[in-house]
Structure 1
Amino acid sequence: MDFVALNIPVADEAQAEILTAELADFPFESFETDSGVLKAYVPQERLADCKSEVDALLARYGVSGRYISIESQNWNALWEQHFPATDIEGRLRIRAPFHDPAPAGETEIVVMPKMSFGTGQHATTWLMARAVLDLGVAGRRGLDMGSGTGVLSIVAVRCGAVHVDAVDIDDWADANCRENLAANGVEESVEPMLGDVARIAGRSYDFILANINRNILLRDMKAYSAALLPGGDLLMSGFLEADVPAVVAAAEAEGLHRVAIASRDGWMMVHVRK
């Protein structure tokens, strides 16, 4: 699969974060900021469906972007240049196969992200992974909604979850998730499911992890609440501070009460419970 990188010069990190949140509503699958340039990666075959809307979005913010084709055979080399290992408070290291192993005593997860979101380096994945470490998922069944690389599913299983459904709408993410589950030896405990929220109809969970974006969270909140067992936890990220009131209000409307809110680099994580 070939990808296109949309390179957008940004004034500062705040502008990069706002544009990332906006572009996350389109089929962009990964983002990074390097030397004042936001780089958003989208499958080449999906760009035509959204290019005019993306260009209009950039125009509204007074910025312009340059589209650069990336051949698929060069993608792994690109990740080796730009994907650093991620350390979460000395308790967990998320790394790629080309990084050095974690120090003795530190749990590690090895992922080759390719084009799937969820490398650990993004603030939202970091927030969600840390929250899972503290949630108490041992012996519980969970859902990883918008699972990407499957990294949060793997974290949950490493923390003792007995089973996790990993749902993602993208076939490339689904395939990558399966690879990473096998690489970490947890394929028996995680069920990848290609599709959207309709895949969880009739299923019940003790916890749900949803690292997506504000619009999808608001749209699917009713389904998340319906799938949560009483006392179940919903962790959500993929949005900025300004979006927190809307996310919390939508959760409360579905009988979910706020437990905690955390932030990192302008990105937010909301924990609610049924």
Structure 2
Amino acid sequence: MDYIALHVPTTDETQSEILTAELADYPFESFESEAGVLKAYIRKEALPDCKDEVDALLGRYGCRGRYIAIETQNWNALWEQNFPWVDVEGRLRIRAPFHEAAPAGEAEVVLMPKMSFGTGHHATTWLMARALLDLELEGRTGLDMGSGTGVLAIIAAQRGAAHVDAVDIDDWADANCRENIAANGVADRITPMLGDVSRIAGRTYDFIVANINRNILTADMGAYAAALRPGGDLLMSGFFEEDVAAIRAAAEGFGLRYAATASRDGWALVHMRREA
């Protein structure tokens, strides 16, 4: 699946954060800011439906964007050149096959992300990974919604989860997840599922992790709540600190109880629970 990168020169970090929040209302799947340029990534086929609105939005802020097509092979080459391993508090290393292995006593996940998002570098993936390290998972069944590379499902399986469904709408992510769970020796306990939230209809879980974005999370909250068993945990990220109240209110509207919030670099995680 091909992606488009929208490059927007920004005047400072504040403007970059504001534009990121505004663009998150459209189908952009990932953001990064580097050397005064905000980069927003969107699937090629999703851009035509929102391009005029996005251009108008940038115009209101006095900005102009440049759209750059990213071919699959170029994305892979760029990733292989620039991907450093990720440290989660010295407790977990997320790395590529060409990185040095984690030292004895430190858990690791080995990824080759290709076109999928979820290498652990983004603050939201890091927050979710840390939360899973602190959550009781032994013998529980879970859902990784918007699984990308499968990194969160892999962490859960490594920590003793009995089974995890890994759902993603992107066919590249589904294929990559299958490769990564096999490479990490947990394919027997993770089931990749290509599709959207409708794939979990009728299924129930002891824990759910959903690292997507505010709009999708709030739209699909009812499905998550229906799938969460009594005593279950719902971990959500992919949104900014200022969105915490909206995410929490949406979850509480379906009978879930607030447990905790964490943040990193302006991004947030919300932990909700269903009463036992």
**How has the CA–CA distance of structure 1 residues 255 and 152 changed in structure 2, closer, same or farther, with 3 Å as cutoff?**
same
Worse-superposed segment, 171-180 or 45-54: 45-54
How far residue 25 of structure 1 moved from its aligned partner, in angstroms, is 4.2
Equivalent residue runs for 1:41-190 within 5 Å: 41-190=41-190
- The change in CA–CA distance for 1:39 and 1:253 in structure 2 (over 3 A counts) is same
Larger deviation: 219-228 or 65-74? 65-74
Aligned sequence identity (%): 73
> Offset of 1:244 from its aligned partner?
0.9
Which stretch shows the higher mean deviation, 58-67 or 170-179?
58-67
Gapped regions of structure 2 (runs ≥ 5): none
The answer as to whether partners of 1:85 and 1:96 remain within 8 angstroms in 2 is: yes
Deviation larger for 58-67 or 145-154: 58-67
1:21–1:213: 8 Å Cα contact kept in structure 2?
A: no
* Aligned 8 A contact 2:76 2:115 in 1: no
2:119 maps to a residue whose letter is T
Output the CA distance in 1 between the equivalents of 2:238 and 2:81.
Answer: 24
- Provide the rounded CA distance (Å) in 2 between the counterparts of 1:14 and 1:124: 19
TM-aligned CA deviation for residue 100 of structure 1: 2.2
Q: Contact 2:88 / 2:130 at 8 angstroms: preserved in 1? A: yes
CA distance in 2, matches of 1:190, 1:46: 29
Q: TM-score, normalised by structure 2?
A: 0.93
Deviation of residue 175 (structure 1)? 1.4
**Residue type of the alignment partner of 1:182:** A
Say which SS state the counterpart of residue 104 (structure 1) adopts. coil
1:201 corresponds to which residue? 201
Shift in Å, 1:170: 1.4
Cα 1:55–1:206, aligned 2, differ >3 Å: closer, same or farther?
same
Matched AA of 1:102: A
Q: TM-score, normalised by structure 1?
A: 0.94
- 60 and 169 in structure 1: CA distance in 2 versus 1, 3 angstrom threshold: farther
In structure 1, the partner of 2:248 is 248
Whether the aligned pair in 2 keeps the contact of 1:29 and 1:115 (CA below 8 Å) is: no
When residues 147 and 103 of structure 1 are mapped into structure 2, their CA distance, relative to the original with a 3 A threshold, is: same
The 3 A distance-change label for structure 1 pair 225 and 85 is: same
Number of matched pairs:
274
What is the rounded CA distance, in whole Å, between the counterparts of 1:139 and 1:14 in structure 2? 44
Amino acid paired to 2:253? A
Secondary structure of the corresponding residue to residue 62 of structure 2: coil
- Provide the aligned C-alpha RMSD in A: 1.7
Change (3 A) 1:48 1:258: same
2:57 alignment partner AA: L
What is the identity, as a one-letter code, of the residue corresponding to 2:197? V
Q: Deviations over 1:129-168 (max 9, x none)?
A: 0000001111100001111111100010111101001111
70-79 vs 160-169, greater mean Cα deviation:
70-79
Find the counterpart in structure 2 of residue 3 from structure 1.
3
SS in 2 for 1:255: coil
**Please, which moves more after superposition, 137-146 or 167-176?**
167-176
2:3 partner amino acid: F
Match of 1:258?
A: 258
Q: Is contact 1:27-1:42 (8 Å) kept?
A: yes
The one-letter code of the counterpart of 1:243 is D
- How do 1:215-254 residues align onto structure 2 when only pairs under 5 Å count? 215-254=215-254
Could you list the per-position Cα deviations for residues 61-88 of structure 1 after superposition, in whole angstroms to 9, with x for gaps in the alignment? Answer: 3322111223322222211233221100
